[in-house]
Amino acid sequence: MSLSFKALSLLCLLGAGPATAQQAVPAGMAERTAACIACHGKEGRPSGAGYLPRIAGKPQDYLYRQLLSFRDGRRVHAQMAYLLAPLSDAYLQEMAAYFAGQHPPYPAPPPVSAPAAVLARGRQLVFEGDAARKLPACAACHGPQLAGALPAIPGLLGLPRDYLNLQFGAWRNGVRRAVAPDCMAVVANRLTPADVAAVSAWLAGEQVPAVHVPARALPAPLPLACSGAR
C-alpha cells in the first residue's frame, strides 16, 4: 500500500533540526528522506521506466534549486509541492547534500524502440546541435560526458525516456521554469517534437559509465546565458 501524502510529509519532517556548517550530512538523514525514497527509489535511484528521475549523484546546488522550485511554484507537481511546503531552505539544502553524495551504480538501460535514423539524429543533436537553427549541443552545457557540471548543471544519462519527454514539454509550456536566465526554456522552444523524440530516445538508451560524476567545470563557456552556471 502506498503512503498517503500526509504520511510522506511527516516522514520528511522527522528529525528536522537546524543545519550547522560543520554537519554536511546530518545524522539520520537516510530516515528523514524516506519520503523521497518512497518514489525515487533506494539512494535516489528509481527503476529505468516511468516518469521518475534518478536524483542520486546530481550536483547539490542543482537538487537544492529544484526543491526550491517545487516548493515555490516554479515547477508544478502537486505531491512535491505538498511535501516540501513546510520545509525550510536549510532543510532542503541538507536533503540536496545527502542525495548529491549518493553514487550507487546505474542499472543497464531498458531497450529503446526507435528507428536507426531517429537515434542517429538524436546523437547528432546531443553532440553537435543544429547551428542553422541556433540549437546548441546538449554536450555544450551538460559536458562532453553528459555527466553535468558544478555548480548546478545536471547529467543527462540514466534518465527514463518518458521523463525526458515530459520535461521538454514542461519547459515549452511554462510548467517548469528556472530562475532567469532560463536557458532550457530557450532550447526547448527551439526543438521540434521530432527533435525531442530523437534526443530522448538516444539519451535513454545509453549505458552510463561506471564513473559518472559532475565535472568541476566545463571545457568552454556556455553557448547561452544560464542560471545553472552560477
Residue 124 CB partners (closer than 8 Å, separation 6+): 130
SS3 call for 213: coil
CA–CA separation, 165 vs 196, rounded Å?
Answer: 7
- What is the C-alpha separation between 129 and 140, in angstroms, rounded? 9
Chain position carrying cell 547528432? 124
% of the chain beyond a pLDDT of 70: 87
37-51, 103-117, 149-163, 182-196: range with lowest mean pLDDT: 37-51
Residue 47 has pLDDT above 90, yes or no: no
Question: What does the alpha-carbon distance between residue 106 and residue 146 come to, in Å, rounded to a whole number?
Answer: 14
pLDDT band at 3; cut points 50, 70, 90:
very low
Res. 30 pLDDT band, cuts 50 70 90: confident
Backbone angles phi, psi at 205, to 5 degrees: -90, 0
- Tell me what pLDDT residue 48 has: 61
pLDDT at 25 over 80: no
Q: What is the mean pLDDT of the chain?
A: 87
pLDDT number for residue 204: 95
The number of C-alpha atoms within 13 Å of 13 and in the hemisphere containing its C-beta is 13
Global confidence as pTM = 0.87
> What pLDDT was estimated at residue 71?
96
pLDDT at 228 over 60: yes
Domains of the chain (ranges; CATH) run 5-100 (1.10.760.10), 116-229 (1.10.760.10)
Q: How far apart are CA 215 and CA 22, in angstroms?
A: 24
Question: Does the structure show a pLDDT above 80 at 27?
Answer: no
User: CA-CA distance, 103 to 213, in Å (whole number)?
Assistant: 8
Q: Give the integer Cα–Cα distance in Å for 170 and 176.
A: 5
